Amino acid sequence: MKNIKFNKKVVQLNNQYIIILFLSSFAFLLIFLRLFFLQVINNQSFKKMSDQNRIRLIATEPIRGKILDKNGEVLVSSKLEYSLLIKPQFVSETKWQEYKYSLANLLNLQIEKLDLKYYNGIKNQKYSINLVDNLSVEQIIKFKENEDNFLGIEILRKVKRDYPYKTLGAHALGYTSAITNSEYKILSKKGYRLNDLIGRTGVEAAYENYLRGEWGGEMIEVNANGNVQKSLGIKPSKKGKDITLTIDLSLQKVAEKVLQDKKGGAVIVMDPRDGAIRAIASKPTFNLNFFTKDFKPEKEYNELFFSDSKPLFNRALNAYDPGSVWKIVTALAGMESGKFPPNTKLQTAPCIVYGSQCFREHNDEGFGSIGYEDALRVSSNTFFYQIGYGVGVDEINRISKILGFTKLSGIEIGDQEDRGLIASSEWAKNGRGWGKPGKTPWLPEDIASMSIGQFVVQTTPMQIARAYAVIANGGYLVTPYLSKLGKENTSYKQPIKVDIDPKHLQVIRNGLSKVVQSGTGVSINYGSYNFPPISGKTGTAEDALGGADHAWFVCFAPSENSELLVVAFAENTPGGGSVHALPMAKKILEEWHKKNN
């Protein structure tokens, strides 16, 4: 019996050893598999993590390319600003008490302000605290001479966009701002970094890839305390490319100046031969340097983004009632339709009844029996009412499209561009954009309004510039552009020969010449400047939104072989195009004439 008990104990002990051995072996197997996973399978991943703990990359921001005018004058550049930073993880609070007095004495700073920024940063658990912005050259030199005495404190270089002329050409040049977190998820693949700047509007946005440059940096090795051991290599940042615009700074300055006393408006100066923009201005405007500020005051922010005047809105690309500058379209529709050939003469009157309304002549008398050229010269309403009513809405609509209306102009900064509105019978039948189909039919009153560019016609100053360029250059529709890079772009369209009889274009040219010789635009000749022959058209338009009248003036010079075309538009400025818009254009012509001579 004793042997049996003894054998049972031996068996139990053996079983225990086997279980312990099995558990131990299993544990060692798990450890082995874990080590195999860490050292073999996940070797590269952990090596990368180790390197990241040992290696630091100090990124170097690229300097954005300059934007220059056609003569090489700087319109936009970048400037370097230097800030003083402290990294609190490397500076004890005791050490800070010593540093703050030394920094204050060395750099002529207020201890209280340094202390406030330091403790605010500590409170917000920042790894890098900005102590001083916009260090002067003298402060930078003094700190660099004593840098070894301030471990954990360093100078940070920051690139900022600089707009030396502040508001000049703001809508055309555009601005930059930091990318958002959601944008970073996409843009990081293109080399952007978090809080990197990107062009938002205007030329800054249109030529972002050309202007931005490439980030560089220095790779350094640090020890466990974060102290630098050695440099592992430097990749210099790559400066963005400079871009030359077609804008002429002297003409741009005048374009901005003539808008100063206006509530709102726009000026476009263009070479009618190929569409090169020499100046483009919009009022109200804004200071581009606002967007470079680290801190943007709430009052300034609200005035910019929530003001009723909408200063960010580009009036040169927004649609308005064109008034009498539209009459060239009605005239071409009359001749091209064959119903009113070039030698047509019509009897004008104090007013003509269409539907339930008598549409008046602007002098309330009429001008007798006149043809196209004199109708343009005196800007007769009743002459063009008859032409428009005779050819119909759809013929006017057809001619307008040939001249580029209802289409985007193709300019690089067209992100805000309006297509405008040119009425048609189909548009009316479909509800006019606000009513039910079949419930808003075309009315006799509409054709009278359309004939002289009112209410059912909305065009942008840029569209007007393109249409008048067709007259000035002898029949080619141009694509406006701000840089030859845009002209070389595959989306740019070379001037297109329009399907309009050259004889009909000549009639319009003759009429626009008479406007300036002895018509509504004759005052442009008054004064000491001996201008070359000029052709043009005045316009006064009722505001379809209920505001005061708009004033327009379009001209090109010389009348033959034209080199310059000007569109001057004064928003809600009653009194007439010859009174308000013509003097604006005249100032630009004076500057152009002075430069050419």
446-465 tens-digit pLDDT = 999 999 999 999 999 999 99
- Over residues 45-50, the mean pLDDT reads 50
Three-class SS state of 114: helix
Q: What is the pTM of this model?
A: 0.84
Peptide bond into 558 cis (omega under 30): yes
How far is the C-alpha of 555 from the C-alpha of 562, rounded, in Å? 10
Sheet (strand 55-60) strand order = 55-60, 216-222, 228-235
274 shares its domain with 332: yes
323 shares its domain with 218: no
- What pLDDT is attached to residue 15? 66
Tell me the per-residue pLDDT of 307-361, one tens digit each, with 9 for 90 and over: 999 999 999 999 999 999 999 999 999 999 999 999 999 999 999 999 989 999 9
509 shares its domain with 461: yes
Residue 361 and residue 487 in contact, taking contact as beta carbons nearer than 8 Å: no
217 shares its domain with 259: no
In the structure encoding, which two tokens stand for residue 532, read together?
Answer: 């070359």
What is the CATH classification number for the domain harbouring 91? 3.90.1310.10
Decide which of 244, 265, 281 is a domain's last residue: 244
Number of independent structural domains in the chain: 2
Decide which of 244, 262, 281 is a domain's last residue: 244
- What pLDDT is attached to residue 45? 57
Question: Residue 543 sits in which domain range?
Answer: 249-305+313-596
Q: Is the predicted pLDDT of residue 477 greater than 50, yes or no?
A: yes
Lowest mean pLDDT, pick from 20-29, 121-130, 416-425, 495-504: 20-29
Handedness of CA 238, 244, 247, 248 (dihedral sign): positive
- Over residues 122-142, the mean pLDDT reads 84
Q: Is residue 174 part of a domain?
A: yes
Q: Is residue 29 part of a domain?
A: no
How far is the C-alpha of 99 from the C-alpha of 507, rounded, in Å? 82
Q: Is residue 457 part of a domain?
A: yes
Q: Is residue 36 part of a domain?
A: no
Confidence of residue 490 (pLDDT cuts 50, 70, 90): low
240 shares its domain with 281: no
H/E stretch holding 43 reads helix 43-54
Report how far apart, in Å, the C-alpha atoms of 228 and of each of 55, 86, 111, 151 are: 9, 16, 29, 11
Tell me the per-residue pLDDT of 261-282, one tens digit each, with 9 for 90 and over: 999 999 999 999 999 999 999 9
209 shares its domain with 194: yes
Q: Is residue 16 part of a domain?
A: no
Tell me the per-residue pLDDT of 374-433, one tens digit each, with 9 for 90 and over: 999 999 999 999 999 999 999 999 999 999 999 999 999 988 899 999 999 999 999 998
Sequence length of the chain is 597
| Burial of 557 (C-beta count, 10 Å sphere; 0-12/13-18/19+) | buried
What percent of the chain stands above pLDDT 90?
64
* Radius of gyration (C-alpha) of the chain in whole angstroms: 36
H/E stretch holding 550 reads strand 550-557
Three-class SS state of 17: helix
Report how far apart, in Å, the C-alpha atoms of 123 and of each of 93, 97, 99, 117, 231 are: 13, 17, 19, 10, 33
Residue 73 and residue 253 in contact, taking contact as beta carbons nearer than 8 Å: no
Cα–Cα nearest to 404, from 322, 460, 451: 460
- What pLDDT is attached to residue 52? 46
Q: What is the DSSP string of 413-455?
A: TGGG----EE--HHHHHTTTTTS-TTSS---HHHHHHHHTT-S
Decide which of 244, 264, 297 is a domain's last residue: 244
- What pLDDT is attached to residue 40? 62
Looking from the CA of 275 toward its CB, the CA atoms found within 13 Å total 27
DSSP character for 540?
E
How far is the C-alpha of 345 from the C-alpha of 368, rounded, in Å? 10
Q: Is residue 46 part of a domain?
A: no
254 shares its domain with 347: yes
Q: Is residue 377 part of a domain?
A: yes
Q: Is the predicted pLDDT of residue 13 greater than 60, yes or no?
A: no
Higher pLDDT, residue 382 or 487: 382
Q: Is residue 480 part of a domain?
A: yes
Core vs surface per residue 220-238: b (16+ CB within 10 A) or e: beeeeeeeeeeeeeeeebe
Tell me the per-residue pLDDT of 194-231, one tens digit each, with 9 for 90 and over: 778 999 999 999 999 999 998 887 666 666 555 556 66
How far is the C-alpha of 542 from the C-alpha of 514, rounded, in Å? 25
How far is the C-alpha of 504 from the C-alpha of 501, rounded, in Å? 5
414 shares its domain with 322: yes
How far is the C-alpha of 260 from the C-alpha of 573, rounded, in Å? 13
Q: Is the predicted pLDDT of residue 5 greater than 70, yes or no?
A: no
Confidence of residue 49 (pLDDT cuts 50, 70, 90): very low
DSSP character for 195?
T
208 shares its domain with 273: no
262 shares its domain with 197: no
Tell me the per-residue pLDDT of 67-111, one tens digit each, with 9 for 90 and over: 999 999 999 999 888 889 888 878 888 899 999 999 999 999 999
63 shares its domain with 181: yes
- Over residues 522-542, the mean pLDDT reads 92
239 shares its domain with 277: no
Tell me the per-residue pLDDT of 283-295, one tens digit each, with 9 for 90 and over: 999 999 999 887 7
* Spacing of C-alpha 229 from chain mean position: 46
